Amino acid sequence: MNIVLASTSTLFGGNYLEYLTEEIKILYNGIDEIVFIPFARPGGISHEEYTEKVHAFFAPLGIRVKGLHEFDDKKAAIESAQGFFTGGGNTFLLVKTLHNENLMQLLKENIERGKPYLGCSAGSNIAGVNMKTTNDMPIVYPSSFDCMGLVPFNINAHYLDPNPDLKHNGETRETRIKEFLTQNDVKVIGLREGNWIRNKDGKISVEGSEMTRVFEKNKAPYEVEPGTFL
Amino acid sequence: MNIVLASTSTLFGGNYLEYLTEEIKILYNGIDEIVFIPFARPGGISHEEYTEKVHAFFAPLGIRVKGLHEFDDKKAAIESAQGFFTGGGNTFLLVKTLHNENLMQLLKENIERGKPYLGCSAGSNIAGVNMKTTNDMPIVYPSSFDCMGLVPFNINAHYLDPNPDLKHNGETRETRIKEFLTQNDVKVIGLREGNWIRNKDGKISVEGSEMTRVFEKNKAPYEVEPGTFL
């Protein structure tokens, strides 16, 4: 496999996908067209607008972008694609759409055959075992929370440390993930913004600028450095 | 109906339910025992520990607390209860448990017959039309997102304003609720900590110390003062 799973598409103060440019060039080396999966629709943006935004980033790299929504036969589009990118937004909407159209398993199989895959945020969540560690609001009801399982753990994108100054009683991210572990025995990678997971031929490492927080059942959470194999 | 739906159980720096004491005395006036629904299990706390915490608050008010988990026949317990309290925690776990045990509709009917109901956080979410505006992590898969609909809108508990200082790219609460409104036509009450919904004989008002933010489809969000009828 040949996969990059990023916590976020955009760093604070940066432009869309900018900080991932070098990693993206390596990922899609030799590829001149990708299929973009726009179904997560961040902020309710249309499939067309979202695909245009992605096109604007990829055009200077010499990579054409086709939105998956443009194809009448989406299964054929996935089968004939050279590579994939799933953008961020609402994970529930993304997973519901992929399950409704019976695309989740087909996408998984194509990626497992070696086609490069980039995910950001919600697009990274769907590479995990299931979507039960998303931060997103359940605005629609998917037929299942199961995802592709391209990595043997779940991802918590945009992982955020507790803010000691916050006079607010909502649960911290760590508390939420610990609640997940009372009900599930699946490792969770708390991926801070600036970090990504790299899966190259089954060697899975965490990369980027920040430490990464790992949560496992019946174990204290721990931190690993960029470059650590998971 | 006779209902209080609070954003949070605990204010910053305060004790459990403390700020709601006067409202709780009015709500449960004439009642000496309530059934507590502990299924949301905040932080993974056991049903027993959670019920004990609630007991410690209610004992000085002369109100006995029975945990719903203590009853072999939970349906009979709901039918014979004088009043109810559902505590906060994980809304997915709470809704899954209520649906699995076929208790959601029965609880609704008992509250609609006039039995007093207190909800906090997740316990307030389940009084709305559905749970699609919870902030919680989807740690389990409920058989449905539908809730009791004791009020004709959804609640977003622990409503939080955007923090302009946060160098983080996760969606704001407002963005999430707007995404909900692209997929659903249900009013959402953004209930800040310190506020609660009061439904007394069908007159529904928002009470507490803070302004409340209201979201409707195809309308700019707006703020209402404490005491406003919804």
Select from B139, B167, B171 the Cβ nearest to the Cβ of A132. B139
Q: Do B176 and A141 touch (CB under 8 A)?
A: no
In contact, B148 and B183? CB cutoff 8 Å: no
- Quote the ipTM score: 0.93
| Chain-chain contact of A168 with B41 (C-beta, under 8 angstroms) | no
Which positions in chain A touch B137 (Cβ < 8 Å)?
132-135, 176-177, 179-180
Note the pLDDT of residue A171. 80
Q: Determine, for residues B169 and A158 on separate chains, whether the beta-carbon distance falls below 8 Å.
A: yes
Nearest-Cα residue of chain A relative to residue B180: A139
Choose among A12, A131, A170: nearest Cβ to B135: A170
Give the pLDDT of residue B113.
97
Question: What does the alpha-carbon distance between residue B190 and residue B192 come to, in Å, rounded to a whole number?
Answer: 6
* B126-155 residues touching A, CB cutoff 8 A: 131-141, 144-145
Minimal Cα–Cα distance from A76 to chain B, Å? Answer: 28
Distance of alpha carbon B76 from alpha carbon B72, whole angstroms? 9
State the fold for domain B2-224: Rossmann fold (3.40.50)
How close is the nearest chain B Cα to the Cα of A182, in Å?
6
The whole-number average pLDDT for the span A58-79 is: 98
* Residue B11 touches chain A, beta carbons under 8 Å: yes
Category of A161 on φ-ψ map: left (φ > 0), alpha (ψ -120 to 50) or beta: beta
- Token pair belonging to A171: 């649960």
Alpha-carbon gap: B164 to the closest alpha carbon of chain A (Å): 12
pLDDT tens, N- to C-terminus, chain B (230 residues): 999 999 999 998 899 999 999 999 999 999 999 999 999 999 899 999 999 999 999 999 999 999 999 999 999 999 999 999 999 999 999 999 999 999 999 999 999 999 999 999 999 999 999 999 999 999 999 999 999 999 999 999 999 988 777 776 678 899 999 999 999 999 999 999 999 999 998 899 999 999 999 999 999 999 999 999 99
Contacts of B171 in chain A (CB under 8 A): 42-43, 136
Q: Does B179 touch chain A (CB under 8 A)?
A: yes
| Pick from B43, B145, B168: CB nearest A12 | B168
Per the annotation, the verdict on A99 as an active-site residue is: no
Position A164 pLDDT exceeds 70: yes
Percent of chain B exceeding pLDDT 90 equals: 92
Residues of B annotated as catalytic (active site), given as ranges: 121, 136, 158
Residue A195: partners with Cβ closer than 8 Å, 6 or more residues away: A6, A7, A206, A207, A208, A209, A210, A212, A226
Q: Cβ of A137 and B138 within 8 Å?
A: no
Residue A53 binned pLDDT confidence (cut-offs 50, 70, 90)? very high
Query: Is A170 close to B160, i.e. CB distance below 8 A?
Result: yes
A9 contacts in chain B (CB < 8 Å): 169
The Cα A217–Cα A133 span in angstroms is 14
Provide the pLDDT for residue A162: 84
Comparing alpha-carbon positions, the chain A residue that sits nearest to B41 is A179
Q: Which of these is catalytic: A72, A158, A185, A205? A: A158
Tell me which chain B residues have a C-beta less than 8 angstroms from the C-beta of A90.
179
Q: What is the pLDDT of residue A74?
A: 98
For the stretch A82-103, pLDDT in tens is 999 999 999 999 999 999 999 9
**The pLDDT of residue B169:** 67
pLDDT tens across B205-229, in order?
999 999 999 999 999 999 999 999 9
Which pLDDT score, from 0 to 100, does residue A169 have? 67
Q: Domain-by-domain residue ranges, chain B?
A: 2-224
Place of tokens 């694609």: A81
Q: How far apart are CA B39 and CA B51, in angstroms?
A: 10
Residues from chain B contacting residue A133 (CB–CB below 8 Å):
137, 139
Q: Is A41 touching B (CB cutoff 8 A)? A: yes
Alpha helices (runs of H) in B4-140, residue ranges in sequence order: 21-27, 47-58, 74-80, 91-100, 104-112, 122-125
Is B171 near chain A, with CB under 8 Å?
yes
The helix, strand and coil proportions of chain B, stated in percent and rounded to the nearest 5, come to 30, 25, 45
Average of pLDDT values for A186-197?
98
Residue B12 and residue B117: Cα distance in Å, rounded? 24
Beta-carbon contacts of B93 under 8 Å, excluding residues fewer than 6 positions away, are: A179, A183, B39, B40, B41, B139, B140
| For B10, nearest residue in chain A (alpha carbons) | A169
- B194 and B209 Cβ atoms separated by less than 8 Å: yes
Best to test chain B binding among A130, A167, A182 (most B CBs inside 10 Å):
A182
Q: Which of A7, A9, A121, A124 is catalytic?
A: A121
